[in-house]
């Protein structure tokens, strides 16, 4: 036997045909991928809720002597006010209200002077415990709205004569 391989015309013809068939297969695969594509298009429909609330709640005049004998966080009776947060949702009837105070102490909204606080209660007389991360109240649009009762309280410092106020943001989200 010779150390060299003998190449015949038949061997060359077989190699050429094999290469042409391979290129044809690759070429038709590439064309098929270029000629069609599957695309999924989707959307998610979400529920939407809105609310309305009074821009301020005025508890009126409170005599400084009403705080006599109260320790920090002690609540005053007879000076509370109730307001309504009206809610509306489309796509659901359940929602959550988030109450985010600018400052809080003893579970109540606190004034910047720290002499007074405002405690919130839901319609079942349960305290809405406000914290730095807020408080959540779940509800249903089947009701006439959420009745919130505001009860004044003594802050961590002795209250001074003058106007005291605090703010909070209330947001609504569908459940």
CA distance linking residue 66 with residue 38, whole number of Å: 74
- Residue 29: pLDDT over 80: no
The pLDDT, as a whole number, for residue 152 is 98
List, for residues 103-128, the tens digit of each pLDDT value.
999 999 999 999 999 999 999 999 99
The pLDDT, as a whole number, for residue 32 is 54
pLDDT band at 31 (very low <50, low <70, confident <90, very high): low
- Domains of the chain with CATH codes: 48-174 (2.60.40.1090)
| Sequence-ordered list of residues with C-beta below 8 angstroms from that of 65, at least 6 positions apart, any chain | none
- Residue 44: pLDDT over 90: yes
Q: Is 104 exposed, middle or buried (0-12, 13-18, 19+ CB in 10 A)?
A: buried
Do 96 and 49 contact (CB within 8 A), yes or no? Answer: no
Q: Is 142 exposed, middle or buried (0-12, 13-18, 19+ CB in 10 A)?
A: exposed
């Amino acid at each position: 036997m010779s150390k060299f391989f003998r190449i015949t015309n038949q061997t060359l013809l077989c190699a050429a045909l094999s290469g042409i068939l391979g290129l044809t297969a690759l070429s038709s695969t590439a064309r098929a991928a270029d000629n069609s594509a599957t695309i999924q298009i989707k959307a998610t429909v979400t529920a939407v809720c809105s609310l309305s609330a009074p821009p301020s709640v005025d508890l009126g005049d409170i005599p400084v002597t009403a705080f006599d004998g109260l320790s920090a966080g002690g609540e005053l009776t007879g000076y509370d006010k109730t307001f309504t947060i009206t809610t509306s949702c489309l796509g659901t009837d359940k929602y959550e209200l988030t109450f985010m105070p600018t400052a809080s102490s003893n579970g109540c909204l606190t004034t910047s002077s720290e002499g007074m606080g405002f405690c919130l209660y839901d319609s079942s007389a349960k305290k809405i415990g406000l914290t730095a991360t807020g408080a959540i109240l779940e509800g249903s649009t089947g009701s006439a709205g959420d009745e919130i009762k505001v009860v004044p309280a003594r802050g961590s410092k002795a209250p001074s004569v003058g106007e005291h106020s605090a703010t909070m943001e209330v947001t609504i989200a569908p459940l």
